[in-house]
Chains A and B, each alone.
Chain A
Amino acid sequence: DVKVTQSSRYLVKRTGEKVFLECVQDMDHENMFWYRQDPGLGLRLIYFSYDVKMKEKGDIPEGYSVSREKKERFSLILESASTNQTSMYLCASSPGLSDTQYFGPGTRLTVL
């Protein structure tokens, strides 16, 4: 079974802090994705990566950056957290860009 793990289920940070969300997949997938999920808005794509060190912006990249130094690991970085970044963050991976995505359990981030 594909396994996608995220470093924390719950995280509380203060405004202005730098925040790292980590995601690891164990199926050698080429592609990895970060989403945020907010009530009434569904899932929105923040960034995705189709190869090591390669990344592309999704629909809402502002305020976020990403890093993919190794194939299995994709990090989402909030350079200076703000309260409007309080959300559920979901990571996913897939073999091809049009293939099924496998999701992690999510990280619920609260920025105070």
Chain B
Amino acid sequence: AQKVTQAQTEISVVEKEDVTLDCVYETRDTTYYLFWYKQPPSGELVFLIRRNSFDEQNEISGRYSWNFQKSTSSFNFTITASQVVDSAVYFCALVTYSGAGSYQLTFGKGTKLSVIP
């Protein structure tokens, strides 16, 4: 069975601080897909990033960056210079799919980020 662990249940930071949200995953498949989603207080999940297991390149998008390390089975998410609008619950997710009947999707339990002005 696969697993996604977001060990940080809640994090509070002061505005403009940097913050890293951890995601550790477990799977026996060699092909898999990792995602981060944001759930603001309004409730609707918003896609942030998708990575496949063959692409270990780190990615930066504005104040957001992601560090994918297969050696440690981690896919961590960093927000630089945090803002109040970053306050949300962030979910990491793992998908494995190698043909009919093999689909598995697992979400982590989420990390609630509060950015204090």
Contact = CB atoms under 8 A, between A and B. Distances in A.
A56 B103 contact: yes
Contact of B110 (A42, A97, A99, A105): A42
Interface size of B as a range = 20 to 34
A105 B47 contact: no
Contacts of B117: none
10 shortest interchain CB distances as A-B pairs: A42-B109, A103-B45, A43-B107, A42-B107, A100-B47, A98-B33, A105-B44, A97-B97, A106-B43, A98-B97
Interface of B: 9, 33, 35, 37, 42-47, 50, 52, 91, 93, 95, 97, 101, 103, 105, 107-110
20 contacts: A40-B9, A41-B109, A42-B91, A42-B107, A42-B109, A43-B91, A43-B93, A56-B103, A97-B95, A98-B33, A98-B95, A98-B97, A99-B50, A100-B47, A102-B47, A103-B44, A103-B45, A103-B46, A105-B44, A106-B44
